[in-house]
Amino acid sequence: MSNTNIEEAAERGTGGAGPAADAGRLNRCIALCNACAVACERCASACIAEGAGARMARCVLLDLDCAAICTAAAGIMARNSENAGLICSLCADICRLCAAECASHSQPHCSRCAEACNQCEAECQRMATA
């Protein structure tokens, strides 16, 4: 998924003030979490398929952790859990770690993953402090 597609998916339902704006921010964060989970799964899969081995082990493991927490965060937000802020804060932290690791590699899938993680981290941080 290109960065443009990630942002387009996240834009659905945004804008305005009050409850509609809150719902828009929630929908944007859910969309970015889902897009990030996909990017992380793709990155992990590509790293494994390339046979990078131990050199990329941390990348793969962080990709899988990030995909898992992003998926969980999207689900928790979708059901309006009272714990959404806590999970979004954790999600932002893990996205930050994953983005930094992926940014340290030159593969295109790592670059796409880092960008998705950066976008998700920023939006989850906003949700955590809202």
pTM: 0.83
Q: What are phi and psi of 101, to 5 degrees?
A: -65, -50
Distances (CA, A) of 63 to 23, 35, 54, 67, 71: 28, 13, 15, 6, 12
Amino acid 15: pLDDT? 35
- Report the residue count for the chain: 130
- Angle between helix 19-49 and helix 57-78 axes, rounded to 10 deg: 150
As a whole number of angstroms, the distance between CA 20 and CA 97 comes to 32
As a whole number of angstroms, the distance between CA 128 and CA 76 comes to 13
Closest by CA to 31, choosing from 81, 84, 65, 70, is 70
According to CATH, the topology of domain 3-129 is: Substrate Binding Domain Of Dnak; Chain:A; Domain 2 (1.20.1270)
Q: What is the mean pLDDT of each run of 10 residues along the chain (130 residues)?
A: 41 41 87 98 96 88 98 97 96 98 96 98 94
Amino acid 20: pLDDT? 53
Amino acid 83: pLDDT? 95
